[in-house]
Amino acid sequence: MSNWLTSSFDWLPRPWSTRRPPIGPGASMVTDTTETVRRAARGDAAAFALLCHSRAPAVVAYIGAICPDAAERDQLARRVFVRAWRELPSLDKPRRFDLWLLRLTHTEVGAPETRPANGSARLAPSSYVASELFTLPSTLRETLSLRYFFGRAVEEIAPAFDQPVDVVDGWLEAGLQALGSAVAPAAMPASLAA
């Protein structure tokens, strides 16, 4: 079985080492990422490559939620990372990197209603759920996306929004409830509910 990350993301810059640097005592994923973001913002290509490789699956999954075409997803992901490299020095708070990258991805991809139709008259149920995600208010959409696309813990998401953990927990709960209501069989189009 081949490494899908290596085969699917050949266009990503390669870090000098594929080993992730160990996180020292008293450090966390957030502080480790913050330092890597700072180094990348100063032009360290190896640090940026580490960020790309760790975030590419999440970015591609987010894009895939509204773009079913694999070639277009790949092209959009490339554009996101090129733009990220150019704009990274302007990121004022490195601890917000994932939120910043998510927003940049969302802007680059565009809202689902502005995207051309893929020619399919029938959406897959997973596409319907994803499209409903994009109708949520930005705070709920971003919180859910950081949690479920980027795999971030609530304790990692809260600092990005400068909010306490309990507020972010509330946003996650509200977002999941909104999605649950939107994808209930009674709310689904007849073509998907069958």
On whether the CB atoms of residues 99 and 161 are closer than 8 A, the answer is yes
Residues 6 or more apart whose Cβ sits within 8 Å of residue 31: 23
Most confidently predicted of 2-6, 17-21, 178-182: 178-182
Same domain, 126 and 108: no
Same domain, 93 and 146: no
Between 33 and 76, residue with greater pLDDT? 76
Instruction: Give the residue from 76, 94, 115 where a domain finishes.
Output: 115
Residues 38, 46, 44: CA angle, nearest 5 degrees: 45
Q: What is the pTM of this model?
A: 0.74
Same domain, 105 and 142: no
**CATH code assigned at 193:** 1.10.10.10
Give the tens place of pLDDT for each residue, 50-107.
999 999 999 998 998 888 888 999 999 999 999 999 999 999 999 999 999 999 999 9
Split into its structural domains, the chain has a count of 2
83 and 129 housed in the same domain: no
Q: Given phi > 0 = left and psi -120 to 50 = alpha, else beta, which region is 119?
A: left
3-class SS string, the chain: CCCHHHHHCCCCCCCCCCCCCCCCCCCCHHHHHHHHHHHHHCCCHHHHHHHHHHHHHHHHHHHHCCCCCHHHHHHHHHHHHHHHHHHHHHCCCHHHHHHHHHHHHHHHHCCHHHCCCCCCCCCCHHHHHHHHHCCCCHHHHHHHHHHHCCCCCHHHHHHHHCCCHHHHHHHHHHHHHHHHHHCCCCCCCHHHHC
Question: Do 110 and 128 share a domain, yes or no?
Answer: no
Question: Based on the domain organization, do 102 and 166 belong to the same domain?
Answer: no
What are the tens digits of pLDDT across the range 134-165? 889 999 999 999 999 999 999 999 999 999 99
Residue 165: give the domain boundaries: 122-194
Are 91 and 15 within one domain?
Answer: yes
Query: Is the pLDDT reported for residue 8 higher than 70?
Result: no
Verify that 75 and 145 share a domain, yes or no.
no
**pLDDT score of 190:** 52
Same domain, 111 and 130: no
- Domain boundary at 100, 115, 130, which? 115
In angstroms, the CA 165 to CA 188 distance is 32
Do residues 149 and 180 both lie within one domain? yes
More confident residue, 26 or 75: 75
Which of 80, 115, 150 is at the close of a domain?
A: 115
Contacts of 77 (CB under 8 A, 6+ apart): 56, 59, 60, 63
